[in-house]
Amino acid sequence: MEYDLSIDNLAVVKEKAIDLAFQFGPALFKALVLLLVGRYVIRLLLKVMTKALDKYEIDPSLATFFKSFLSAILWVLLLISVATTLGMEMTSFVAILGAAGLAVGLALQGSLANFAGGVLILVFKPFRVGDTVEAQGTLGSVESIDILYTKVRNFDNKVVTIPNGALANNSIVNYSLKPTRRVEMAVGVAYGTDLKKTRQVILDTLKKDERIHEDPAPVVYFTNFGDSSLDLTIRCWADVADLWPVYWDNMEAIKEAFEAHDIEVPFPQRDVHHYYPEGKK
């Protein structure tokens, strides 16, 4: 196919291009300016809202949710304004937006469930930002609660993003809701050991730790005849922040107390009886 690139045709094309530029150029320029200014205004409003929420000490969970929700609404309004500036009629745009919203709603049913789950979490507050929770196979500290997802940082510093719908419809274990926690330790002593003496040694060791509460008082129970040991369970109460330090420090202290009082901590062992055929060594 051959194209007619004569001077007359080029002039016509140039003239049409100039006409289109004069016709749509101003609207396009206005839409671009509106988009840039609107983006700046949205950021400014979010900063103002953040300062206001911090000033009035709004719960961090609600603060994050409100900021995410406001950002989504502002961006939708900005896109509508840009479309109107480009010459799209509002009624047509609303009709298109409604049809698109229906299609998107059907396609994103899971996201809508996550949104509803986020609202339920913020209303009933099974956990807050900073709480230690166990949910959906993840144990860690809640970093943020957004519109659709909750971020949990586990104890090896990995951030797990969990859908709010799954959190709202399944069991959640909150380790931070109560101010105190029970510390449970397990030890074993050799068969033949005086259990009363062992119990008293353990209780005397626990009394030296000021972090352990006196009420409820620590207890030591004999719980099992093990293969190589008599198994004991130790239970005491401490503040949530002291849970693991109390556990680690007292396990070591009990081991040292056992050594000081000649209480044997056994290791797995087996008795082997070897029978030789008659007449053979």
- Decide if pLDDT at 166 tops 80: yes
- Predicted confidence at residue 96, as pLDDT, reads 65
Selection from 188, 185, 199, 186 nearest residue 268 by Cα: 188
Q: How far apart, in Å, do the first and last CA atoms of the chain sit? A: 106
Which residue type occupies 96?
Answer: I
Q: Measure the CA–CA gap between 77 and 281, rounded to whole angstroms.
A: 96
* pLDDT value at residue 256: 95
User: CA-based angle 240:244:247, to the nearest 5?
Assistant: 115
pTM over 0.75: no
Question: How is the chain split into domains, by residue range?
Answer: 8-107, 117-174, 180-260
Of all residues in the chain, the percent with pLDDT exceeding 70 is 79
Handedness of CA 76, 81, 87, 91 (dihedral sign): positive
**Residue 205: pLDDT above 60?**
yes
Fold of 180-260: Alpha-Beta Plaits (3.30.70)
The whole-number average pLDDT for the span 229-235 is 95
- pLDDT for position 6: 56
Cα–Cα distance between 136 and 150 in angstroms, integer?
Answer: 12
* The pair of three-digit structure tokens given for residue 179, joined into one six-digit string: 């101010």
CATH 2.30.30.60 fits 117-174, yes or no: yes
Of the listed ranges 107-116, 132-141, 191-200, 216-225, the one predicted with least confidence: 107-116
SS (H, E, C) 126-168: CCCCCCEEEECCEEEEEEEECCCEEEEEECCCCEEEEEHHHHH
Torsion angle defined by CA atoms of residues 184, 143, 63 and 169, in that order, rounded to the nearest 10 degrees: -70
At residue 1, the pLDDT reads 45
Classify domain 8-107 by CATH number: 1.10.287.1260
- Torsion 176-180-181-183 (CA) sign: positive
Beta strands 230-239 and 180-189: pairing type? antiparallel
Q: Is 147 helix (H, G, I), strand (E, B) or coil?
A: coil
